[in-house]
Structure 1
Amino acid sequence: MKNKNSKKIKTKSNKKNNELGQTKNSAKLVLFIFGIGPIIGITLFLYSKGFFNSPNI
């Protein structure tokens, strides 16, 4: 009886681990997009305004 119960628990935990893995990956993707996206946007904005051009003396 213990073997049958442990198998059921293992299959449930495997499903939970797969779901947790997918949520972790999607969370990492969302954090990457929202972390890198604004940095790229700000850089492009400043570049378009001439922030990175050397000043003319």
Structure 2
Amino acid sequence: MLTKAAMPALNGNTAVGVPAMQLNLYGEYDLPAFARGVTLTGRVIHTSSQYYDQANTQSIPAWTT
């Protein structure tokens, strides 16, 4: 949240490029003896929407990969 913005009207707005939530989930599993040396991995990344102007009028949507 902006607290000492150059323009007082912007105080209280969310800072540019700062999502409200970001989640990174990673997993790894070593297969049993029939596939010795094989590891399965997976990852999910989620970022919530975020503003790209200080007035908080323009935003980019949330994304997940």
TM-score of the two chains, using structure 1 as the length reference: 0.28
Rg larger in structure: 1
With CA pairs under 8 Å and 6+ residues apart, which has the higher RCO, 1 or 2?
2
Instruction: Give the structure with the higher percent strand.
Output: 2
TM-score of the two chains, using structure 2 as the length reference: 0.26
Instruction: Give the structure with the higher percent helix.
Output: 1
